[in-house]
Chains A and B, each alone.
Chain A
Amino acid sequence: MSERAAKVTPPDDEQDDDQITDSAAPDAATEDDSAAGDAETTPAPVTSGAEAVVRALENAGVEYAFGVQGGAIMPVYDALYDSDIRHVTMAHEQGAAHAADAYGIVSGEPGVCLATSGPGATNLVTGIADADMDSDPLLALTGQVSTDFVGNDAFQETDTTGVTTPITKDNTFASDSDRVGSDVSEAFALADAGRPGPTLVDLPKDVTNGETDCEPDAPAVPDTYRVQEQADPEIVAAAAERIENADRPAILLGGGVIKGEASEACREFAIEHEIPVITTMPGIGAFPEDHELSLEMAGMHGTGYANMAITHCDTLIGIGTRFDDRLTGGIETFAPDAELIHVDIDPAEISKNIHADYPLIGDAETVVEQLSEAVDASPEAKKWRAQCQQWKSDYSMAYDAPEDEPVQPEFVVEALDEATSDRAIVTTGVGQHQMWACQYWTYTEPRTWVSSHGLGTMGYGLPSAIGARLAADDDQEVVCIDGDGSFLMTLQGLSVAVRENLDITVAVLNNEYIGMVRQWQDAFFDGRHSASDYHWMPEFDKLAEAFGASGYRIDDYDDVAETIDAAIAYDGPSVIDVHIDPDANVYPMVPSGGDNGQFALTEDQL
């Protein structure tokens, strides 16, 4: 277990204490702080498939599992009843998957989610697909009807492995009580190995109910899964020479840098050789945005200076990025003068979207260290760095916030940033608010940005805040910046946050629109706001109070600082309904498939 996760102290919660006291393991309550699978206690031998499943999780050091009870998964829940693993009952399985996903992002260990068969499993699908697109480590355990009913369209049956094959790194239909524990161990190991991703084990009820005395194997990946750690030294040498001779070098840090724990190595490399640094959206936090070399995020809503730099560089060192189309814009105009040095642990990402001139397959941290060793002289790029600074001032991220206008969203994001510490964790839904949260919050640490990137899942914000809260250190604030439409999709999770008394601050940037769609309709559909006008939004502050959370509302600038302070100070879940300027749009913007260097600064330029 990582240090970070081990520090988590479960919140003082009556319900939780009751559960532990009621449980069949009388020692459990006194051992609250000891890690699961501690050598001090010798656990009783397993007697059923379900106990083997839970033992596999305990062996893997799992502390939290997120899920919803149900018919086919009941044996596993029965075994969990006696375990020290804390199960967090969610209000919907989608939330369970997102919470586990965020837990994985913040802790670096695979998050675990559970659901029953049929609708339980299909409700997980969005969250699993989200984790797959973002390479987040996640283990999903799903109940299944008994094997003799499989294929008969039995009650609550779904071909879960069939449904999830395209969105998992690997999935398994457990068919044997003696093997099921090891299946779970292997799936846990696979979720975290190499390029992380979601794995799933489908658990038929007769397999989990079945008798067995087989203890699960230790978590290990199968022989056929091979990961290359070190890049080819010859290509490393060639890439190093290219870097030394670059006139206009730039480093592009993707989410793989954070997942590969390579942020520190990348920072040292960039700072030593004075190379400007750009991040992708999942790469936010890999490099401190308050550093002079930082150009922040590139892509569709990236900063103008990042997009100018990525377009004009002659050497691009891409690390742990898959060159998603939201980053590259049109392929033809992406870094068209640049030779690409591409570091990635997944060989399939090399030259998938952008041709790599120097393919460096391997673990990000290892390869960056190899590169550091190989690069003898820093590139002479003083003029280029000056140009990047010039772009920073030419295309500064500034906005007007006159006192008599409706509250501008950028101002709220900055105010939240100011009111919280540097290590505060931001989670978001998907939409305009997410882009403002990227642009106007200054990120300095890895694993403090938790968002849905590749799948773009509205509703990700609140459940991910729940998972992030449980993985975060006690002194780290967790702020969920959400949109009204996004929040409305999963706000039943408030019941969970209240029950678990999770200290989360949700700021809903409420413009009564599906704002990003509205922005596109304004730009590309003659302002025809088809189905994007959400003027029927509930009052989120009152709704929060109905759930038992603390509710706040912001209507004008006078309220902003004071209300934010109060909401953050509140020990428990709080929701601020922030009524922002309904017409505010996100700029800069590169239209879909456009040229990154030709980003629009206003609607007229689209």
Chain B
Amino acid sequence: MKRGLDGPEPETRPTPAGRRNKQGIRIDPEVEVTHEPRRTAISALVEHEPGVLSDVSGLFSRRQFNIESLTVGPTENDDHARITIVVEEPDPGIDQVEKQLRKLVPVISVRELEPDAMRRELALIKVDAEQPGQVAAVADMYNAKTVDSSPETATIEVTGARQKIEAAIDTFSQFGIREISRTGTTALARGTDRTAASDSTGQSADEANYDGQYTETATDD
């Protein structure tokens, strides 16, 4: 009794020369190029309704997108909320993030922000206040503000790009950090450029953004 089918065996069959990489892109095996992950901010304008944040965060976790931070808040329009997501993914992954977000019904528009976009986060840093003068001096350096103080502690509010917050935390650590609370990044495009317009459809960040102006900001991500 025969088990299986007839035909030339696998080793005797011709094999094509080509290959694809893990992202399904055809490559020259001699000079294989793989996409390296990069960090970027994606802004989504969504209907301000219950469940939308869990829709978005659930999408990120079940598709295993590498998420750095996710913030959400109301906008100038009571019916809309803005979600800012910082992800670290290779280019095809960033592309998927945008496309999958657009598929969610409460999502109005999505775009990746340009490198020059304003990105800010807020941190509350509670330190030991044995040297209040020095704490105030450091706070001054970062344009930070003391929002609470007690004989033992001082809590400082600092806002800025991620690097600035990290640098501030680093510097404050000399006093002894008790607790930190950070908000994650929120962002807007510069100038007249709309971060996420209600009428934008599947437009790429490149098309939507490029109008010749570019402001280099060292403090931004």
Contact = CB atoms under 8 A, between A and B. Distances in A.
Nearest to B24: A354
B221 to A, nearest CB: 26
B17 A337 contact: yes
B24 A224 contact: no
A583 B201 CA distance: 55
Nearest to B10: A598
Interface in A297-350: 304, 308, 311-312, 323, 331-334, 336-339, 346-348, 350
Nearest to B106: A224
Contacts of A222: 105
Given A166-B58, A226-B201, A405-B1, A334 B24 contact: yes
Interface in B46-87: 47, 50-51, 54-55, 58, 62
A603 B202 CA distance: 48
Given A165-B58, A166-B62, A169-B105, A351 B24 contact: yes
Interface in B1-39: 1-10, 13-26
Contacts of A348: 96, 99-100, 102-103
A345 to B, nearest CB: 11
B20 A395 contact: no
A210 to B, nearest CB: 19
Contacts of B20: 331-334, 336, 354-355
Contacts of B96: 348, 352
Contacts of A397: 5
Given A166-B62, A337-B18, A605 B103 contact: no
A334 B5 CA distance: 23
B107 interface: yes
B8 A603 contact: no
A162 B99 CA distance: 22
Interface string B94-124: 0110011011111110000000000000000
B24 A353 contact: yes
Chain A interface helix/strand/loop/mixed:
loop
Contacts of A398: 5-6
Given A166-B62, A337-B18, A597-B16, A355 B24 contact: yes
Contacts of B51: 161, 165, 173
B120 to A, nearest CB: 27
Contacts of B1: 400, 402, 405
A337 B26 CA distance: 8
A378 B46 CA distance: 46
A350 B15 CA distance: 26
A9 interface: no
B106 to A, nearest CB: 7
A598 B54 CA distance: 43
B19 A224 contact: no
Most A C-beta atoms less than 10 A away, residue of B4, B17, B18, B51: B4
Interface in B145-183: none
A287 interface: no
A84 B61 CA distance: 43
Contacts of A597: 13-16
Nearest to A353: B24
B18 A351 contact: no
A66 interface: no
A221 B62 CA distance: 26
A602 interface: yes
A587 B4 contact: yes
A396 B16 contact: no
A585 interface: yes
B6 A396 contact: yes
Interface string A365-395: 0000000000000000000000000000011
A583 B2 CA distance: 11
Interface in A475-531: none
A224 B107 contact: yes
Given A351-B95, A355-B24, A395 B202 contact: no
A600 interface: yes
Contact of B10 (A190, A350, A599): A599
Nearest to B202: A347
Contacts of B50: 173
Contacts of A354: 20, 24
Given A170-B105, A395-B5, A332 B19 contact: yes
A587 B3 CA distance: 9
A59 to B, nearest CB: 21
A398 B10 CA distance: 18
A274 B58 CA distance: 45
B197 to A, nearest CB: 13
Contacts of B55: 165
Nearest to A600: B10
A225 interface: yes
B132 to A, nearest CB: 46
A323 B10 CA distance: 23
A603 B1 CA distance: 14
A336 B18 CA distance: 5
Given A165-B58, A166-B62, A336-B16, A601 B201 contact: no
A352 B95 CA distance: 9
Nearest to A303: B5
A222 B10 CA distance: 52
Interface in A430-463: none
Contacts of B22: 331-332
A592 interface: no
A598 B105 contact: no
Interface of B: 1-10, 13-26, 47, 50-51, 54-55, 58, 62, 92, 95-96, 99-100, 102-108, 201-202
7 contacts: A169-B105, A332-B20, A336-B19, A351-B95, A353-B24, A355-B23, A598-B13
Given A336-B26, A597-B14, A598-B10, 13 more contacts: A170-B104, A332-B22, A338-B18, A346-B103, A351-B95, A394-B7, A396-B7, A397-B5, A402-B1, A599-B10, A602-B4, A605-B4, A605-B9
- Nearest first, the 3 A-B pairs at minimum CB distance are A602-B4, A336-B18, A348-B99
Interface of A: 161-162, 165-166, 169-170, 173, 190, 222, 224-226, 228, 304, 308, 311-312, 323, 331-334, 336-339, 346-348, 350-355, 361, 394-400, 402, 405, 583, 585, 587-588, 595, 597-605
